[in-house]
Amino acid sequence: MATEKVVSASKSKKSVAKKPKDETKKATAIRRKTQPKPPTPKPEEAVKSPEFQQAKSKAEEYARDPEKAKKLVDDAFKKAKGKNKGPLGEVWRYLTALIRLTRAYFSKQYTDVPWQTIVLAIAALIYFVSPVDLIPDFIPVAGYLDDVAVISFVVASIKADLENFLEWEDDQKMQEGQAEE
C-alpha cells in the first residue's frame, strides 16, 4: 500500500512538470525576441578610441576647408535621415543640432561660436558618417551605440555653445514669423 502511494505521487509530479506545447512555444518565442541589449560604450571610452582620435585630427582640416565641411554636413544629414529611432533616437535632437550648427557656421549665418566647438562638432559628424568606427555601423542596433556615446560626449563638452545656438535658431524663427505678418 505504501508503494502505491509513492508511485502515484511520482506520476502526479511528472504531469505537473509538463507544460502544454502552446506555452512552451510562447516562452521560446519570447526568449528569441527579447535578446539582451549590447552594452553601450561609455562616452569616455568612445572618445579615447583611435577612430575618434582620427576623426578629431581630421576635423581641424575640415574646419579650415568650407567645401569639405559642407560635404560632410550633407553626408551626415543623408545618413541621419530616418534614423530617429533605435539607439540614435536618444540623441537625435543633438545630432541634428550639430548638423545645423555646422551648416550655419559655414554658411556664415551663425559664427558666434568658439573654434574648438566647431572642431568638436565636426569630429562628431566625421565619426557618425564613418561606417567603420569602434563598433561598425553595419552591425544591427549595436552599430550606432558608439556613435551615441561620441555624440553624447561632444554635446556635453559644448553644451553651453549648443544651447546658445539653439536659442539663436529660435530667435531666427520668431523673426521670420514676425516678418511674414
Residues 70 and 20 in one domain: no
88 and 143 Cβ atoms separated by less than 8 Å: no
| Average pLDDT of the chain, as a whole number | 78
Of 45-59, 94-108, 128-142, 151-165, give the lowest mean pLDDT range.
128-142
Residues 84 and 154 in one domain: yes
- Is the pLDDT reported for residue 56 higher than 80? yes
Of 40-44, 130-134, 177-181, give the lowest mean pLDDT range.
40-44
Q: What is the per-residue pLDDT for 23?
A: 53
pLDDT in tens, 142-164: 777 788 888 999 999 999 999 99
User: What is the rounded distance in angstroms from the CA atom of residue 42 to the CA atom of residue 150?
Assistant: 9
70 and 106 Cβ atoms separated by less than 8 Å: yes
**DSSP characters for 101-134?**
HHHHHHTTS---S-HHHHHHHHHHHHHHH-SSSS
Residues 67 and 89 in one domain: yes
Residues 49 and 24 in one domain: no
The answer to whether residue 113 sits within a structural domain is yes
The answer to whether residue 11 sits within a structural domain is yes
The answer to whether residue 38 sits within a structural domain is no
99 and 80 Cβ atoms separated by less than 8 Å: yes
Number of structural domains, the chain? 2
Domain that holds residue 160: 43-180
- Is the pLDDT reported for residue 77 higher than 70? yes
Max CA pair span of the chain: 99
CA distances from 83 to 49, 88, 150, 151 (A): 24, 6, 16, 14
User: What average pLDDT does this structure show over 95-110?
Assistant: 96
Residues 50 and 76 in one domain: yes
The answer to whether residue 26 sits within a structural domain is yes
User: What is the rounded distance in angstroms from the CA atom of residue 71 to the CA atom of residue 122?
Assistant: 11
CA distances from 11 to 24, 110, 163 (A): 21, 79, 70
